[in-house]
Structures are given as C-alpha cells and as structure tokens.
Structure 1
Amino acid sequence: VIDTPGHADFGGEVERGLSMVDGVCLLVDASEGPLPQARFVLRKALEAKLPVILLVNKTNRPDARIDEVVAENQDLLLGLASDLADDMPDLDLDAILDVPVVYASGKAGRASSSKPADGSLPDSDNLEPLFEAILKHIPAPTYDDEAPLQA
C-alpha cells in the first residue's frame, strides 16, 4: 500500500510510487467527492495503464451523497480517458469506464460492493469485499525468485 500525495508539486513522488504498484484504489470521501489532486494522481495511473478500483469511503457521514460522488468520479474518468485517447490509442476505454466500486467506512472497518443508503454503513461487517475486489481486479505482482535482491 502506497499513499501518494496528490498535489502537482509532488508529481515525481507520485510517478515513482505508481511505478511500484500493480493497481490503484482511488479513495474518495462520500461527501466531498473527488478533490483536484485526485485528477492528477488518476491521470498518472491511467497513463501507466494501471487498473483502478473506486473506493467510496465514509458512506455513513450524515452529508454523504454517494450516487453523486460515484457519478463525479465516472465523469472524471471519462474526461481523463478522452484527454488521453489521442496520445494512447491502445487505451482500454471499456476498462476505464467499467471501474469497480467499493463502498466503505474505514473507521468502522466495513466495506461492501453494494451501495448503502446515504449516511449508512456498508452491509458487510468487515473489509472482506474490498480485499475481494483487489484480488479480482488488481493483478498479482510478478517476480523472479532467482533474481538478486534489489533495494
């Protein structure tokens, strides 16, 4: 797990971090929606052709607006895909537009693939649905067990 800063001033750190991962869980607050830095990090992830899982957190906040936040992220993905399409003709637009969504309350330790009502906890009593989404949508790392150790 790598938590990357989203601010453009940390672009080099974001790119280094993304070069070490096999996929991205884009964590978005259920009331705030995607912040400007999410666009920067998500663009870099799409340029690196990394699979993305949208993780809508804090679904139990009283001001949660889950459907709107998911739609805002889909609009963001669509806009980024459109921006990148000319430079990346092999970009898998279907995969970008069909990003899996997991709903969570990290504080409560709960996640679900089913959308809860605004202001409600996910229906699972643990984080297993998040782990299942990661295992299903993020490829396992590859390595050569005979290769020398690298730092």
Structure 2
Amino acid sequence: MHNNRINIFDFRRDVLQKLLDNNTYDNRIAPNYEEDRATNVTLKLSIISIDSINEISMDFSLNLFLYQTWVDPRLNFTKYSNFSSLELDQKMIENVWVPDTYFPNEKQATFHTVTVNNKLLHIYQNGTVFYSIRLSMTLTCTMKLHNFPLDDQECTIFLESCKY
C-alpha cells in the first residue's frame, strides 16, 4: 500500500513537471495571448468578517477569501492522466499564471501567512484553474453623513484587472 502512494505521488509530480515545463509553459504570459483574446476570469468573494467602519477616515476593514477561476488550455492534462485535479503546493503556485486582479479602492491590504501562505491552487483535467487567497483589507468608502448617526451607508468593493 505504501509503495502505491509513492507511485501516485511520483506520477502527479511528473504530470506537473510536464505541464509547467519552462520550454512549453510561461507563467508570464496569459492564456490565449497568442490568439489575442482576453482570459475570462470568474471572481467570487466570501466575506469572513467586517471588522470596522470608520466615518472619520471614510473606510471599512474586512477579512475575505477571493476565489478566481479561469481556463488555461496549456494546463489541460487529459492526455497525461485521468486524475480529476492536481493541487499545487505553495512553492508550485508561483509557476502558474494568475490574473492581475486588484482592488482600486484599497488603502491597505495584507495576505494571510500563518502558518503558511493562505493560498490554494487546483488545476482540473480540462485546464480549468481554481485559485483562492485570503486577504485582510481596508477599503475607501465615500460616506454621506447628512443624517449622522441615523444615515445608511453603502460601501462598495471594486475589483479590476491591472492591465486589461
């Protein structure tokens, strides 16, 4: 049984090495770049907590998970394996292209790193990539304080692509 686990581990490692070979995969280049079309990225936020709302500095702080999903055809591994997905460890994540998503109304942000970087990346057999990261952020919120303290505020979280 123990030998079987080693073989599966070795096989997964070999599949990842084939996919992320520097001669065929460049993590600096977006999927579909050669076809001159944008990569569609699906974003989802899961807010863990809203920690503060500050009417003096007009901002709010929160803790969240940012989930991103896209298809990178270069990472399709149907010809190499019948595994449904491959999970990359922290050191391997930096070898994969990830979207340049940012928050334009961010004042301050922190990545969570206790006990390791709070990041997760799965590659599915068809080349779909799922990437998750945990963040704490302070974002601007232009508040209308005409009826303070009885007013209602609407604070928005903006997300954009840095380059596209």
* TM-score of Structure 1 vs Structure 2, range by shorter chain: under 0.3
Q: TM-score, normalising length from structure 1? A: 0.21
Larger radius of gyration: 2
Instruction: From the two aligned structures, give the one with the greater helix fraction.
Output: 1
**Whose RCO is larger (CA < 8 A, sep 6+)?**
2
Q: TM-score, normalising length from structure 2? A: 0.20
Instruction: From the two aligned structures, give the one with the greater strand fraction.
Output: 2
